[in-house]
């Protein structure tokens, strides 16, 4: 089992990492809220342990951005904010469980394993691939995107864009909707300061280059948005490159 531990307190991070590693789990540490979403996408954890008071970006902002980007990994909030209002806010933002500091390590381990079992059970019933198109597939538990079974090397924004397009291949998704999903919780939405109106076009351009030769391509529909469709040219190129028999 792999855990993503988002905790800025060095002593707490070290204690938890050593404890879980002794119990046979792999721990990926992260101490910066601003980098947490990228680490989440790259590490593909089974469970996330999330502190709320983080430098760079608050834990609730990290969680909100992750859920907006389609990441469904189970999350346990670990924090000194133990009021009922704080717990309700965390759960409403998308957390699966909440444990106030100080806590018992055995209880935390039990909650981690329970959430992991529940997530695996749901995946077994529904299947890992929430969306699959031209060899591209999204893992429902982690939000990671695979091409022919191999993980794609995508930035946080590129992954959010591709997940949105994979949800409805062959159908146009409005530019404004994509902007809200791609920039949620990181640089604001398309209508907020700091995000240029055409910023989504840059992400589309970069993702289109990474999909070259995959069998899928992104098409721009003026006035409508973007859609993901199969790329017959890629298949033709593969056929031409195949050795003669």
* Span 141-154, average pLDDT: 80
Q: Which fold has domain 129-241?
A: Arc Repressor Mutant, subunit A (1.10.10)
- 166 phi, psi to nearest 5 deg: -70, -25
How high is the pLDDT of residue 103? 86
* Span 182-190, average pLDDT: 57
pLDDT band at residue 10 under the 50/70/90 scheme: very high
Residue 70: pLDDT over 80: no
How high is the pLDDT of residue 72? 83
Instruction: Tell me whether the CATH fold assigned to 2-126 matches the one assigned to 129-241.
Output: no
**How far is the C-alpha of 52 from the C-alpha of 8, rounded, in Å?**
10
Residue 151: pLDDT over 50: yes
| CATH 3.40.50.2300 holds for 2-126 | yes
Q: Which two tokens stand for residue 81?
A: 């904010």
Residue 167: pLDDT over 70: yes
Q: Which two tokens stand for residue 1?
A: 């089992």
Read off the pLDDT of residues 194-205 as tens digits, 9 standing for 90 and up.
Answer: 456 678 999 999
Q: Where are the domains of the chain?
A: 2-126, 129-241
224, 172 Cβ separation under 8 angstroms: yes
* Span 124-134, average pLDDT: 54
How high is the pLDDT of residue 128? 44
How high is the pLDDT of residue 131? 56
Read off the pLDDT of residues 39-66 as tens digits, 9 standing for 90 and up.
Answer: 888 888 889 999 988 998 889 999 998 8
Q: What is the pTM of this model?
A: 0.55
**How far is the C-alpha of 167 from the C-alpha of 19, rounded, in Å?**
39
Residue 24: pLDDT over 60: yes
Which stretch of DSSP H or E encloses residue 141?
none
**How far is the C-alpha of 158 from the C-alpha of 137, rounded, in Å?**
14
* Span 139-145, average pLDDT: 74
Residue 226: pLDDT over 80: yes
Residue 25: pLDDT over 80: yes
* Span 233-237, average pLDDT: 51
How high is the pLDDT of residue 181? 82
Q: Per mean pLDDT, which range of 70-79, 80-89, 201-210 is the poorest? A: 80-89
How high is the pLDDT of residue 191? 44
């Amino acid at each position: 089992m792999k855990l993503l531990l988002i905790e800025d307190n060095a002593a707490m991070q070290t204690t938890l990492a050593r404890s879980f590693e002794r119990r046979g789990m792999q721990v990926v540490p992260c101490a910066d809220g601003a980098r947490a979403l990228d680490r989440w996408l790259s590490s593909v954890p089974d469970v996330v342990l999330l502190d709320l008071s983080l430098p760079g970006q608050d834990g609730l902002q990290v969680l909100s951005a992750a859920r907006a980007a389609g990441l469904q990994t189970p999350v346990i909030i670990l924090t000194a904010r133990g009021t009922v209002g704080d717990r309700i806010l965390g759960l409403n933002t998308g957390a699966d469980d909440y444990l106030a500091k100080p806590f018992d390590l055995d209880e935390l381990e039990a909650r981690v394993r329970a959430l992991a079992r529940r997530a695996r059970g749901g995946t077994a019933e529904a299947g890992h691939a929430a969306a699959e198109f031209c060899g591209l597939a999204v893992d429902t538990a982690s939000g990671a995107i695979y091409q022919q079974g191999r993980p794609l090397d995508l930035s946080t924004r590129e992954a959010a864009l591709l997940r949105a397009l994979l949800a409805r291949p062959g159908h146009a998704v409005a530019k404004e909707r994509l902007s809200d999903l791609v920039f949620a919780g990181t640089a604001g939405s398309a209508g907020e300061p700091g995000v240029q109106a055409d910023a989504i076009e840059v992400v589309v351009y970069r993702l289109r280059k990474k999909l070259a030769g995959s069998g899928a391509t992104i098409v721009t529909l003026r006035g409508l948005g973007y859609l993901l469709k199969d790329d017959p040219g890629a298949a033709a190129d593969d056929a031409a490159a195949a050795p003669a028999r």
